[in-house]
Structure 1
Amino acid sequence: MNQSAAFSPLHRLWHSRRFRGLVPPALLLVLWWLATTHEWVSPLVLVPFGQLYDAALDPQVFHSLAEGIASTFGRLLQGYGIGIGIGLALGVGMGLSKAFDRIMGPSFHAVRQVAILAWIPLLTAWFGTGDLCKIVFVAIAAAKPVVMGAFEGVRSTPAQLLEVGRVLGFSRLKMLRWVILPSSAPAIVTALQLSLIYSWFAAIGAEYVIGVMSGGIGSVVMGAQEHFRTDVVLLGVTLIAATGVAMNKGLRGLPDYLFRWRTRA
């Protein structure tokens, strides 16, 4: 009995989802330590933890990474704002009006089939390789899921709610404000979550592919790679990954927080 009780905490720890999720990163870190300690790989491929730590404490490297992430977020927010504005207008309009859907729907669905990276040659020809091109690229990535989410949300408004609005004599504007938008809000919020993640990928990808002259965390990583600063490259990639994970974690609980009143009801 005592032995079973002694192993009980270990058993619970092993079956913990959070603990199991940490096992692959821990094994990779151990493998990394072994590879650098025994010189299995070149320092240009992996650097020792000590060198990575020294680079993280270097004020110049810290300033470069901080400035880069701030620049990337600036373009992300601009492109995301433009993309969701266009996406909501198109999605809600197509959901409300069958005539508007017949006009815009075929064009949107054709554009939606184009892979996001396929836009880069055309965008660089139109806007160059500066900030404007990257912002437009992010806006395209942001708009697609928002259009679909808003369209599906509006179209899936229950007929009973629409009938109640008609009985109460709601105008089209009141129907939209008090019936359709509240009913479609969960689908729209989910689309906004997905859109922000896609926008983050696009913002980083634009800096990798379109050019590094306008700054950003992707530009910092590319510049460090050209100067054989593997430690800065690894720090930059780690920062990109950590930011993405933090955004995903924060967004995952957003619908539960915004629509907690539904659970209580």
Structure 2
Amino acid sequence: MPHAAPVWKAKIAAVSQALLIPALFIALWSTASAQAWLDPKLIPSPWNVLASALHTLAQADFWQGLAASVSRNLIGYALGASLGVAFGVALGTSKWVNWFFAPGFNILRQISLFAWLPLISTFFGYGNGAKILFITFSVFYPVALHSLEGVSSISAKYREVGQVYQFPKAYAYRKLILPAAGPQIFVGLQLGLIFAWLATVGSEFLLANYGAGLGNLVIRGREQFNVPLIILGMLAIGCVGVLLNAGLARIERHLLRWQRAGSGGKP
């Protein structure tokens, strides 16, 4: 495998570049703490934060909160992404659906995401279901918009091929429409994943007294004036977001490569 070494070198270089700024920040933070430039009550040293983090990681409450956040995020994302792709494709392929739903959809998507939360909590309470519904809303709009853009950008000649050969609708969607719109749909899915995680943490912030989650962990740290707990919660939120996006990127590469192989490199 002659290309294995360059690939690994490129990966090591990318990881080193990504860790450069955090390493410099920790070094500066350590120096400032050692020189007593910072009030330890407000900003403890990195080593105190690490010790507190290890203590928190040994407790079941942290992992229960992490599992609760990730599970409601994935459920809300799956619902919002599925509905968003179906709705966006329908808007782009059906004149009747576009005529009936597009005006209302364009109006509703102008409403700020967090403006929905008071209405959702009023009708659905403050439990896990309300948070999942809020996440679903946050994912639906970007996925639907990019799915619509992907379908609308398909060249007319591909549509004409389906009409000339009188492809069944299911076959046309599977072999023409979805493969051609796939890259743009995945852009929406990536944005939707980011929005879903923001909505997950945001709903836990705003409904902090109900249920478990990483957002509740940060709120608890603020109430207890426990800065290490706040920092641990922030780092956990960031790491989960990175892992979720990396997982979706791998799925995207696999699916789009499969589509190109199955269609000879053409939509």
User: How many Å apart are 1:105 and its aligned residue?
Assistant: 0.7
8 Å contact kept, 1:44–1:228: no
Residues 43 and 212 of structure 1, relative CA distance in 2, 3 Å threshold: farther
Equivalent residue runs for 1:179-198 within 5 Å:
179-198=176-195
Amino acid at match of 2:69: T
| Aligned match for 1:110, one of 95, 107, 112 | 107
TM-score, length-normalised on structure 2? Answer: 0.85
CA distance in 1, matches of 2:115, 2:56: 38
**Equivalent position of 2:96 in the other structure:** 99
| Aligned match for 2:166, one of 169, 176, 187 | 169
Q: Does 1:220 align with 2:217?
A: yes
**Equivalent position of 1:129 in the other structure:** 126
- CA deviation digits over 1:130-188, x for unaligned, max 9? 21221111011110111112211222222222222222221233322322122222221
CA distance in 1, matches of 2:176, 2:105: 26
| Aligned match for 2:61, one of 57, 60, 64 | 64
Structure with max Cα Rg:
1
What is the Cα-based RMSD across aligned positions, in Å?
2.4
TM-score, length-normalised on structure 1? Answer: 0.85
Q: Does 1:241 align with 2:241?
A: no
Q: Does 1:77 align with 2:77?
A: no
CA distance in 2, matches of 1:45, 1:19: 30
Amino acid at match of 2:45: P
Question: 4+ runs of 1 displaced by more than 6 Å?
Answer: none
Deviates more, 1:29-38 or 1:244-253: 244-253
| Aligned match for 1:230, one of 227, 241, 251 | 227
CA distance in 2, matches of 1:24, 1:133: 38
8 Å contact kept, 1:141–1:202: yes
8 Å contact kept, 2:49–2:228: yes
CA distance in 2, matches of 1:44, 1:141: 37
Residues 150 and 51 of structure 1, relative CA distance in 2, 3 Å threshold: same
Residues 85 and 258 of structure 1, relative CA distance in 2, 3 Å threshold: closer
Q: Does 1:50 align with 2:65?
A: no
Name the % identity: 33
| Aligned match for 2:84, one of 65, 87, 96 | 87
CA distance in 2, matches of 1:159, 1:149: 18
Residues 208 and 107 of structure 1, relative CA distance in 2, 3 Å threshold: same
8 Å contact kept, 1:32–1:46: no
User: How many Å apart are 1:128 and its aligned residue?
Assistant: 2.0
Count residues in correspondence.
Answer: 252
CA distance in 2, matches of 1:17, 1:203: 29
CA distance in 2, matches of 1:17, 1:40: 33
CA distance in 1, matches of 2:235, 2:193: 19
Q: Does 1:140 align with 2:137?
A: yes
**Equivalent position of 2:4 in the other structure:** none
**Equivalent position of 1:208 in the other structure:** 205
**Residue 58 of structure 1: SS of its match in structure 2?**
helix
Amino acid at match of 1:144: Y
For structure 2, the residue ranges without an aligned partner over 5 or more in a row are 1-9
CA distance in 1, matches of 2:40, 2:248: 37
CA distance in 1, matches of 2:203, 2:172: 40
Residues 257 and 19 of structure 1, relative CA distance in 2, 3 Å threshold: same
8 Å contact kept, 1:55–1:61: no
Amino acid at match of 1:159: A
For structure 1, the residue ranges without an aligned partner over 5 or more in a row are 1-12
User: How many Å apart are 1:75 and its aligned residue?
Assistant: 0.9
Q: Does 1:152 align with 2:149?
A: yes
